[in-house]
């Protein structure tokens, strides 16, 4: 069984106590990681801070490292997919998609490294200021700390690490305990691509121990966090005046209007509700369907859900694999059973074997039920009928969260009205809440957090703007100056 040590620079340190990493379908260990104690965490931050002070990569050098890393991820595709299938339980299809997306995140970060630009400030627009020239520079912050969740263990880590490097920072990563190996393999890729020693450190351990120690470390300038709202709030409290990017929880909604292409909507919603067994921050949890087509859409959805293959994620035909743990699968099962006891109607059967929960479609869900008012983060889709667009928009906005939403319609006025009135960071038209292109500005509002992912936008988060003013000699002003 392979053991992975923390990266405190180019070399892993293979010493100290280990924790097993479970295969999430077979429920047996397939790897182990060496856990970081307090001294190791301190050393990791110290190495990243020293590397920031000692080596400053030029933008073309950042481009070269990140481009090479993208090529290496492509070359190591099969190994990265195998690792991810084992440590997440996600299907081959889902893992292959994550690895391909990681390549795009690295490529885009490489490209953006070359164009991290400031702007001219038109100081001459103020009376008597034409002798001043103002412009801004984007300067790196120092050590960026990335704390990441289990549900995208390669691409989400890349979404923190690559823009941080592209903007000239160094990075310390603490991946989820469930999925540490993909992060270790990304570190190996980046060092093989020529990243200077110490520019990236990776430490393994729990959020409570390693995570909170990182949050308390004043040498860290910025926290790039993706995870639950509850943990995000605690990190934000610890970060104090330091800046953060908070990609937090969500209850994502999608609307199907009666004028929509219903077949398209049903196909996309099925994929968006159940890929990664529903463990995606933008998974469709609430689907609002206009009254006139409710029964038809319910029929189209249940037919598609019945065709989904559920079970072994290594089988190329499987669409829905296990959840991240048996405990999480039991929680989802219990929430659905309590909803059904309270009057919700199951449109597809609920079955659970170990961590595998069958994809569930429900109707007649009430606002006080957990599957309505809490983030399910599992393979559960609730259908709600509505009459007018305003009712649907009110339903979407009736949530503490605001990450992403979708609407299917053939009417541009309806689409535009929804885009204006839905309070989420992203509104997708003729797509579900769960569509994403890695270069786009992605992030939420309300309890879904703040700050944007997407390399160009994340680099702005992970750098600071410095104004430079040149005072020129006033007597040189004249025509054409
Ligand atoms: P989580 O439980 O919040 O954990 C996220 C990370 O935070 C893990 O590495 C965790 O460590 C660490 N952590 C836990 N307590 C901590 C503390 N006190 N201090 C510092 N770090 C701490 O989230 P998850 O279950 O892995 O992921 C699911 C959540 O992520 C969902 O709510 C989902 O919506 C959200 N998410 C949001 C987005 C987005 O873009 N908005 C994207 C993906 C996921 P350990 O777990 O290893 O102990």
Cα 247 to ligand 1 centroid, rounded to whole Å: 9
Grade residue 474 by pLDDT with cuts at 50, 70 and 90. Answer: low
Average pLDDT, the chain: 97
Q: Following DSSP, what letter does each residue of 84-113 receive, concatenated?
A: HHHHH---HHHHHHHHHHHHHHHHHHHHHH
pLDDT in tens, 364-381: 999 999 999 999 999 999
Burial class (CB in 10 A: 0-12, 13-18, 19+), 256: buried
CA nearest ligand 1 atom 14, residue: 207
Note whether 170 and 51 are within 8 A (CB).
yes
Residue whose CB lies within 8 A of the most ligand 1 atoms, among 231, 278, 442, 448, for a mutation test: 231
Residue 235 in contact with ligand 1 by CB distance below 6 A: yes
Grade residue 475 by pLDDT with cuts at 50, 70 and 90. Answer: low
247 tagged catalytic: yes
- What does the alpha-carbon distance between residue 454 and residue 440 come to, in Å, rounded to a whole number? 5
Q: Which ligand 1 atom is at minimum distance from the Cα of 281? A: 34
| Distances in whole angstroms, Cα of residue 295 to Cα of each of 133, 290, 302, 394, 402 | 65, 10, 10, 22, 28
Mean pLDDT across 314-325: 98
The residue to which tokens 């690295």 are assigned: 106
pLDDT above 80 for 13: yes
Residue 227 in contact with ligand 1 by CB distance below 6 A: yes
Grade residue 473 by pLDDT with cuts at 50, 70 and 90. Answer: confident
Residue 109 in contact with ligand 1 by CB distance below 6 A: no
User: Which distant-in-sequence residues (6+ apart) come within 8 Å of 33 by Cβ?
Assistant: 3, 4, 5, 18, 19, 21, 180, 181, 184, 204
| Distances in whole angstroms, Cα of residue 277 to Cα of each of 197, 273, 377, 402, 438 | 38, 8, 8, 21, 21
Catalytic residue among 281, 333, 370, 431: 281
Note whether 85 and 314 are within 8 A (CB).
yes
Catalytic residue among 247, 370, 375, 453: 247
For residue 164 the two structure tokens come to 């941080």
Q: Name the DSSP class of 211.
A: I
Residue whose CB lies within 8 A of the most ligand 1 atoms, among 35, 89, 207, for a mutation test: 207
pLDDT in tens, 18-74: 999 999 999 999 999 999 999 999 999 999 999 999 999 999 999 999 999 999 999
For residue 232, the model assigns a pLDDT of 98
For residue 1, the model assigns a pLDDT of 81
| Distances in whole angstroms, Cα of residue 257 to Cα of each of 273, 278, 381, 397 | 18, 23, 17, 17
For residue 371 the two structure tokens come to 């599957």
Q: Is the pTM of this model over 0.95?
A: yes
For residue 111, the model assigns a pLDDT of 98
pLDDT in tens, 241-295: 999 999 999 999 999 999 999 999 999 999 999 999 999 999 999 999 999 999 9
Residue in 170, 51, 42, 155 with CA at minimum distance from that of residue 107: 155
Query: What are residue 289's phi and psi, to 5 degrees?
Result: -125, 130
pLDDT in tens, 404-442: 999 999 999 999 999 999 999 999 999 999 999 999 999
């Amino acid at each position: 069984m392979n053991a992975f040590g923390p990266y405190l620079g180019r070399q892993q340190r293979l010493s100290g106590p280990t924790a097993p990493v479970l295969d999430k379908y077979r429920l047996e260990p397939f790897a182990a990681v060496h856990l970081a104690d307090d001294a190791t965490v301190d050393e990791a931050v110290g190495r990243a801070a020293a590397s920031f002070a000692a080596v400053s990569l030029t933008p073309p050098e950042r481009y070269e490292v990140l481009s090479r890393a993208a090529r290496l991820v492509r070359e190591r595709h099969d190994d990265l997919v195998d690792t991810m299938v084992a440590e997440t339980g996600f299907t081959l299809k889902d893992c292959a998609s994550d690895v391909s997306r990681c390549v795009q995140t690295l490529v885009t970060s490489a490209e953006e490294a070359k164009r991290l630009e400031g702007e001219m400030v038109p100081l001459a627009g103020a009376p008597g200021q034409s002798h001043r020239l103002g412009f801004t520079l984007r300067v790196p912050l120092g050590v960026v700390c990335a704390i990441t969740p289990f549900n995208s263990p390669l691409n989400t880590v890349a979404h923190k690490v690559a823009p941080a490097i592209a903007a000239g920072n160094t990075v310390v990563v603490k991946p989820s305990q469930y999925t540490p190996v993909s992060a270790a393999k990304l570190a190996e890729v980046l060092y093989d691509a020529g990243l200077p020693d110490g520019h990236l450190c990776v430490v393994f351990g729990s959020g409570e121990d390693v995570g909170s120690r990182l949050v308390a470390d004043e040498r860290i300038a910025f926290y790039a966090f993706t995870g639950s709202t509850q943990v995000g709030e605690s990190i934000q409290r610890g970060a104090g005046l330091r800046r953060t990017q908070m990609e937090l929880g969500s209850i994502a909604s999608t609307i199907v209007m009666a004028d929509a292409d219903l077949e398209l909507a049903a196909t996309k919603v099925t994929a968006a509700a159940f890929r990664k067994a529903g463990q995606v921050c933008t998974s469709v949890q609430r689907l609002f369907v206009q009254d006139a087509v409710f029964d038809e859409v319910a029929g189209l959805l249940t037919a598609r859900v019945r065709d989904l293959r559920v079970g072994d994620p290594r089988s190329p035909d499987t669409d829905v694999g296990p959840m991240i743990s048996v405990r999480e699968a039991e929680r989802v099962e219990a929430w659905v059973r309590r909803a059904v006891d309270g009057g919700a109607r199951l449109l597809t059967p609920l079955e659970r074997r170990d961590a595998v929960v069958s994809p569930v479609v429900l109707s007649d869900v009430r606002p006080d039920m957990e599957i309505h008012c809490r983030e399910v983060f599992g393979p559960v889709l609730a259908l709600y009928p509505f009459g007018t667009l305003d009712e649907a928009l009110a339903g979407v906005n009736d949530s503490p969260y605001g990450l992403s939403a979708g609407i299917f319609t053939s009417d541009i006025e309806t689409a535009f009205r929804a885009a204006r009135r839905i309070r989420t960071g992203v509104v997708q038209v003729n797509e579900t809440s769960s569509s994403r292109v890695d270069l786009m500005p992605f992030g939420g509002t309300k309890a879904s957090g703040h700050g944007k992912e997407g390399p160009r936008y994340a680099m702005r988060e992970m750098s600071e703007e410095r104004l430079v003013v040149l005072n020129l000699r006033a007597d040189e002003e004249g025509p054409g100056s």
